[in-house]
Chains A and B, each alone.
Chain A
């Protein structure tokens, strides 16, 4: 069974540009979470989907971030326009039960 996959693994963009990160959860997992680790600090929750609905987006830092989950399958996280402080590693996780989250390998975003 395939695990959670994320694309790209690494993205380098300039300030002001747009980047879209993608997460493919484990098939059948209704819950999808986005987290990020910025500048070697703690890992922070961004948002939670249940199927295609946003259950909790309290961790989204500002309106430059837009997340979608089309048809309750894969999810995208768009940053537009990107700022320097957005650099970090973005993790996606999926789960069927609340206690068992499976993480993807992460996308390392570098904003120059």
Chain B
């Protein structure tokens, strides 16, 4: 089955709150990536964390990786309405293809 299962499937919060999304995967990885898709638009690469890293920051984003539990989390701090989007984790498969999770639909209400 697909790697990169995510939870929650949907998350609704108020502007200013933090949003946490989790992702689990099944096989060993070299890295794990997070992407965002705004409604009807393309995929935007957010952050890549390598298997030998435990935590990585980029602006208001914080990603953690626990290879022993085969899980990762994405934290968005001080959320904004513009953060409303679908968020996906992805791991690398054979040939470099990405295997995406089901995604979390984040809704940030103003």
Name the distance in Å between B102's Cβ and chain A's nearest Cβ.
Answer: 4
Chain B residues within 8 Å of A48, by CB: 95-97
A91 and B42 contact, CB distance less than 8 A: yes
Once A37-B37, A42-B2 are accepted as A-B contacts, the answer to whether A105 and B42 lie under 8 Å apart by CB is: yes
Q: Which of B11-19, B56-64, B74-82, B86-94 contacts A (4 or more CB under 8 A)?
A: B86-94
Cα A33 to Cα B98 with chains together (Å)? 9
Report if B31 contacts A (CB, 8 A).
yes
The answer to whether A33 touches B88 (Cβ under 8 A) is no
What band does the interface of chain B fall in when counting residues whose beta carbon is under 8 Å from A? 20 to 34
Interface residues on A, range: 20 to 34
A-B contact pairs, 24 of them (CB 8 A): A33-B97, A33-B98, A35-B98, A41-B102, A42-B100, A42-B101, A43-B88, A43-B103, A44-B2, A44-B100, A45-B93, A59-B97, A89-B37, A89-B40, A91-B42, A93-B98, A98-B95, A98-B96, A99-B96, A101-B45, A103-B42, A103-B45, A106-B43, A108-B40
Shortest beta-carbon distance from B16 to chain A in Å: 27
